Amino acid sequence: MLENADVGKLIIRLTLGGLMLFHGIAKLLNGIGFIEGELASHGLPTVLAYGVYVGEVLAPLMVILGYQTRIGALIIVFNMLFAIALVHAHQLLSLGGNGGWALELQGFFLFTAVAVIFLGPGRYKLKN
């Protein structure tokens, strides 16, 4: 029988990594021009935009596979902090159209990644 805590960790990893990976795939298909523009508008080098591929493709794959999971989750945390600071800072204390927090999705990614850092990958993972 499966250990409940390890199954729960696997579900959290697959959810966090899978949902974040969709954002990375969209950037692979559509480019990172928007992110380059946001960086430039904040006086930051646009080459930093390529970091989104690490934060939204590589790190989610690490989390999904359970390979260096805590490092992958930490990268996602930094990715989300940059996204919130560059694009969503004005929404930090705002409600969305349906009454929830305007940054629910960003908050989910950020705080779930923090939880994965503390929880670790669980039993069901690639061997490190």
For position 89, what pLDDT does the model report?
Answer: 87
Q: Which residues pair with 95 in a beta bridge?
A: 101
User: Could you tell me the CA-to-CA distances from 96 to 72, 85, 86, 108 in Å, in that order?
Assistant: 29, 18, 19, 15
For position 2, what pLDDT does the model report?
Answer: 57
pLDDT band at 96 (very low <50, low <70, confident <90, very high): confident
